[in-house]
Structure 1
Amino acid sequence: MTHIEEHFQEFPVFETERTRLRKISYSDQEDMYSYCRFPIVSRYTVWDTHQSLDDTRAFIEYVLNRYDTQKVGPWGIEHKQAKKLIGSCSFVSWDNRNKRAELGYVLSNEYWNQGYMSEVIKRIIEFGFNELGLVRIEARCHLDNIGSARVMEKTGMQFEGILRRHIWAKGAFQDVKMYSIIKDDFPAL
C-alpha cells in the first residue's frame, strides 16, 4: 500500500490558473507575516495570530524541518502575477489504511472572495484522488467560518454534520462543521 508520505519525498509542485503551489521558504517570511499578523485571518484557525516575524520564522522552521525529513508539509500558495506568498494549504492529517486525508488552508484576507482558495483546493483534491489514491478527502471549519464553508461547497465537498466540541483551540473546545468529497463524486467537478 502506498503511503501519502512517499509522494512528498520529492515535494510536488503544481500550478493553477493564478497560483503556483510550492515549498515555503525563508524568503516568504515577510509575505507570510503580512497576513498571519491579522486576527481576522487567524480567527478560526488552531494557531495564534503572529505577534512578530519571530513567530513566522518559527513556523517556517517547523515547515522546513518537515520538508527536510521528507514528511508531508504545506504548499505555499504563490500568486503567479504578484510573485508573492498569499497563503498555504496542506494535508493536515491522513489515514493511509483507509485512504483518507484532511485538508487545511489559510489565505491572506486581501485575496478573500476572489476564488483563489477554491482554485487551489480543486487542484489538491485532484492530486489526492489521482496521485495519492485517496478515497475520501475531508475538511472542517468553525461553525461561524462562512468563507471556509463556501470554499468547501464550491469544490464539491458535501456538508456531513457538526462535530461537537471536536477541537481545542483558542482556549476552548470548538464545534466544527465537517465536509467531505469522495472519489466517486470527483468526476462530477
Structure 2
Amino acid sequence: MSDQEIFEMPVLETERLRLRKLKETDVEDVFYYGSDAEVSRYVTWDRHQTIIDTKRFLEFAKGRYAEKQVAPWGIEWKETGKIIGTIDFIWWNPKHRSAEIGYVLSRDFWGRGIMTEAAKEVIRFGFEEMDLMRIQARCLVENIGSSRVMEKAGMSFEGILRKAMFTKGKHWDIKIYSILWEELL
C-alpha cells in the first residue's frame, strides 16, 4: 500500500469493531469517555472539561487527516455504531520501518478484550500494509491494563525508561513493549 493510501486512513474491521476516521458527529461519544477522569488518568492529555475540548480534539484529528499525517482511528462498536475510543500510530518512520501505537478506550468497555482486538488489527495493518519491521507501544508503569493489552497483542516487554515522561506535574517511569514483523510468522 502506498503512503498516500495509508494516509487516507482505510476503514479496518474486526469481529466487533470498525476502525474509521473520526467525524464531527462523534463529538458526544468522544466527550463521554474523554471527560472521564479514570480514562485520562494514565494518558498525556487532560480530561475533557467541556465539549469544546472534545471539538478541539476532533479538529486536530481532521487536520491530521487533511495534512496526510498519522492520525487516530475512531474505534466504533459495531453493535451500536458509537465511538468508544481511539487507536493510532503516534509516529511512523518509513525509513526505519518502525512506528508506535497509542490508544484509549471508554471505561464502559474495559476488561472485554476490545483494545487488544483493535491493537492486533492495527499491528496487522502496520506489518502487512505499511511494511513495518517494528511496532512499539509505551505506557506508564502504573497502567497495568495497558501493559496487559500490549502483552495480549503479542508484544514483548523491553524494559522501563526511568523518569522518561513529564506529564500531569511529575516525571513518570515508562514501560516499553514491541513486536517485530517476523514474530507474527
Q: Shift of the alpha carbon at 1:58? A: 0.5
Q: Are positions 1:114 and 2:112 aligned together?
A: yes
Q: Provide the secondary structure at the position in 1 that maps to 2:120.
A: helix
1:40 aligned partner:
38
Shift of 1:6: 3.0
- 2:61 matched residue in structure 1: 63
Partners in 1 of 2:124 and 2:74 — Cα distance? 17
CA offsets 1:142-183 (integer angstroms, 9 cap, x no match): 101010000000010000000111112112221100000001
Give, in whole Å, the separation in 1 of the partners of 2:6 and 2:27: 22
Describe how 1:84-99 pairs up with structure 2 within 5 A.
84-99=82-97
2: distance between equivalents of 1:71 and 1:152?
A: 24
1:83, distance to aligned residue in structure 2 (A):
0.9
Say if 2:168 is the partner of 1:170. yes
* CA distance in 2: counterparts of 1:129 and 1:17, whole angstroms: 20
* CA distance in 2 between partners of 1:27 and 1:10 (Å): 19
Aligned-CA RMSD value: 1.3
The alignment partner of 2:118 has SS state of helix
Over the matched positions of the two proteins, sequence identity in percent amounts to 48
Structure 2 equivalent of residue 144 of structure 1: 142
8 Å contact from structure 1 (residues 93, 101) kept in 2: yes
Partner residue of 2:15? 17
Aligned residue-pair number? 185
Tell me which amino acid in the other structure corresponds to 1:6. Q
What is the TM-score when the length of structure 1 is the normalising length? 0.94
- Letter matched to residue 52 of structure 1: T
**Pairing partner for 1:53 from 51, 54, 64:** 51
